[in-house]
Amino acid sequence: MPNLRLKQINISMKHTTLAVILALLFAFSIHTVTSAGHSTGNGTCTDDIIHWQNMIEKRTDAPLYEDSKAVQSKAIGAKVTGKTAECETLMEEALRMIRKTDGEYPTE
């Protein structure tokens, strides 16, 4: 009977370990979703850059695709020089150029 008791404890520990691992994975996935880069106007510009990076290669058919890349480059320059507000303004323009509104891309 002592062996049976040890097996039960061992199984219980495995279940507990699995539950802890799953809880940690869940907690990590929630953090990842909230950091996906889909917020704007928070004064960092980083979220706008991430959002643009997530969209740009999905929108190669946008008429202003190349223009968006040029504006994004200017925004990065502004961020590097500490001009965060300018970076956010430029990134919003870069995003606008590749964002569909009512199923259509902007053309100017």
**DSSP classification of residue 42:** S
Position 50 scores a pLDDT of 93
Residue 27: what pLDDT?
63
- Residues 30, 42: one domain? no
Residue 85 is part of which domain span? 38-108
- Give the pLDDT confidence of 35-94 residue by residue, as tens digits: 444 555 677 899 999 999 999 999 999 999 999 999 999 999 999 999 999 999 999 999
* Number of domains observed in the structure of the chain: 2
Predicted confidence at residue 105, as pLDDT, reads: 83
More confident residue, 16 or 65: 65
pTM: 0.61
Q: Does residue 8 sit in the same domain as residue 47?
A: no
Could you tell me if 22 and 45 lie in one domain? no
pLDDT at 37: 47
- State the pLDDT at residue 104: 86
Cα separation, 34 vs 21, in Å, equals: 20
Do residues 103 and 77 both lie within one domain?
A: yes
Q: Is 52 exposed, middle or buried (0-12, 13-18, 19+ CB in 10 A)?
A: buried
State the pLDDT at residue 80: 95
58 plus 108 within the same structural domain: yes
